[in-house]
Amino acid sequence: MTPSATAGTPADVLVAKAQDRSALIGIVGLGYVGLPLAMEFARAGFRVLGFDVSKRAVDGLNAGRSHVQDVPSADLAAFVKAGKFAATTDLARLNEPDVVSICVPTPLSKTKDPDVSYVLAATNSVKLTLRRGQLIVLESTTYPGTTRELMLPALEGTGLKVGEDFFLAFSPERVDPGNPTWNTHNTPKVVGGITETCRRVSMAVYQPAIERLVPMSSCEAAELVKILENTFRSVNIGLVNEMAIVCDKLGVDVWEVIEAAATKPFGFMKFMPGPGVGGHCIPLDPHYLAWKMRTLNYRTRFIELAGEINAAMPEYWVARAVDLLNDQGKAARGSQVLVIGVAYKKDIGDIRESPALDVIRLLERRGAVVSYHDPHVPTLKEDDIDLKSVPLSPESLRAADCAIIVTDHAAVDYAVVAQHARVVVDTRNALAKVRERGSAK
């Protein structure tokens, strides 16, 4: 250890250890957020100790096998071999890292209230091992006030004082799985601390690993940034989803309208309609804010309405499919329906909150026989759904009474879909390029 990392206040010591890369970084939760973050710290020269409750995941990581699409196994294996990364299920080792970043899930309960049980469990584990000089950072998306109201009292219950003995901050994850341009390293990172010293220490820790940092005045401001980002998307997606219904009733092509509006060089940002919204962020984050505001006797009507519109889109598209089947003289009951794409977004294998799940359930509820094709999701097991991806071929398309494009994966040959499917419900305008190529000939 260098002399600079052995003298001064706990804050000065940790800042020095961040600067000379001697700090040990701990990551709690090695999923699509935690593992890429661990790799960036390792790439910056830090040693990283990852924590996860899944022994299978930990064993795979220690063997150099990545379970996260954005982390190549070759990169992981190199860091493991170099001694820069190791994983464990032993939470008693949380006293070892100088920095503990908490990247655990924050789902919603069945009543759409925030479920912070994973955050509380991680906080309790940290509390049991908390020592002087550690920095604790929550990265999980949550409602404003979580860091100060839930984590701070638990950690100060050890007798250590925040800002002096230990440091506490919030820095929201901004991961976009499968994005080829923006990743953990080059996406600006928001950082807010319980105290100014907490923020200063956090900035020093992240600085070597992240290209740009955005300091905030408080944890609450940082917590609200992430909620605003995804509420903005939810509201605008809700608007264009409603516009899709409006255009349908008016007999106008919504895709043509949106593309024309997007030619305006100012005052308009293009959002595209679809079968609903999926993933961990957009369907969930606005509910965190709505719940928090209800505790303050305020109803976020605009946000809630957008959520209602987006949640109703699977029903709208299934109704479109049923109408098209009726036009062919067929009832939904007994019809063969092929769903193309079940991931929540294109070119990834993540099905969390995917609208395709609702589409499948609604079709089956109407008596349809549903199959699906998704090159990124070989099997689909979710509550009452248990299916395997079928090949997308002229034969499988002709065998279906209707095909519904829910996720527009780039690997799908939509020319084959257009040529061989009897009826197509295109929720993503995926066939547009096929039509464009045809008109260009």
- CA distance linking residue 90 with residue 349, whole number of Å: 29
Q: Which residues participate in catalysis according to the annotation?
A: 281
Which among 192, 205, 133 is positioned nearest to 162, based on CA atoms? 133
Q: Do domains 3-217 and 273-440 have the same CATH topology?
A: yes
How far from 416 is each of 70, 130, 200, 274, 424, CA to CA, in Å? Answer: 29, 59, 56, 21, 12
Tokens of 56: 């299978």
Q: What DSSP designation does 19 have?
A: H
pLDDT in 10s for each residue of the chain, 441 residues: 444 445 689 999 999 999 999 999 999 999 999 999 999 999 999 999 999 999 999 999 999 999 999 999 999 999 999 999 999 999 999 999 999 999 999 988 777 788 999 999 999 999 999 999 999 999 999 999 999 999 999 999 999 999 999 999 999 999 998 899 999 999 999 999 999 999 999 999 999 999 999 999 999 999 999 999 999 999 999 999 999 999 999 999 999 999 999 999 999 999 999 999 988 788 888 888 999 999 999 999 999 999 999 999 999 999 999 999 999 999 999 999 999 999 999 999 999 999 999 999 999 999 999 999 999 999 999 888 999 999 999 999 999 999 999 999 999 999 999 999 999 999 999 998 777 666 555
Per-residue confidence (pLDDT) for residue 2, from 0 to 100: 46
Beta bridge partners of 426: 405
Q: Where are the beta strands (DSSP E) in 79-156?
A: 85-88, 99-102, 135-138
Q: Can you give the residue ranges of every domain in the chain?
A: 3-217, 273-440
Complete DSSP assignment for 137-164? EE-S---TTHIIIIIHHHHHTTT--BTT
Residue 109 has what pLDDT? 79
* Contact assessment for residue 389 and residue 372, using Cβ atoms and an 8 Å cutoff: yes
Q: What share of the chain is helix, strand, coil (3-state, %, to 5)?
A: 45, 15, 40
**Of residues 195, 189, 171, the one with CA closest to residue 11:** 195
Q: Are 32 and 174 in contact (CB under 8 A)?
A: no
Give the pLDDT of residue 7: 65
Distance CA 409, CA 376 (A): 9
- The pTM (predicted TM-score) of the whole model is 0.90
CATH of 3-217, one of 3.40.50.720, 3.40.109.10, 3.40.50.970, 3.40.1080.10: 3.40.50.720
Class of domain 273-440 as given by CATH: alpha beta
Tokens 């908490």 appear where?
102
Half-sphere exposure of 271 (CA within 13 A, CB side): 18
The DSSP line for 179-225 is -SS--TTTS-EEEEESSHHHHHHHHHHHTTT-S-EEE-S-HHHHHHH
- Which tokens hold the place of 61? 């990581």
pLDDT of residue 438: 62
Contact 73, 65 (CB under 8 A): yes
DSSP label of 84: S
By C-alpha distance, which of 107, 82, 103, 37 is closest to 280? 107
Distances (CA, A) of 342 to 238, 240, 403: 20, 21, 13
Q: Are 31 and 55 in contact (CB under 8 A)?
A: no
Cα Rg, the chain, nearest whole Å = 24
DSSP 23: P
Predicted pLDDT of residue 281? 81
Alpha-carbon distance 4 to 46, whole Å? 17
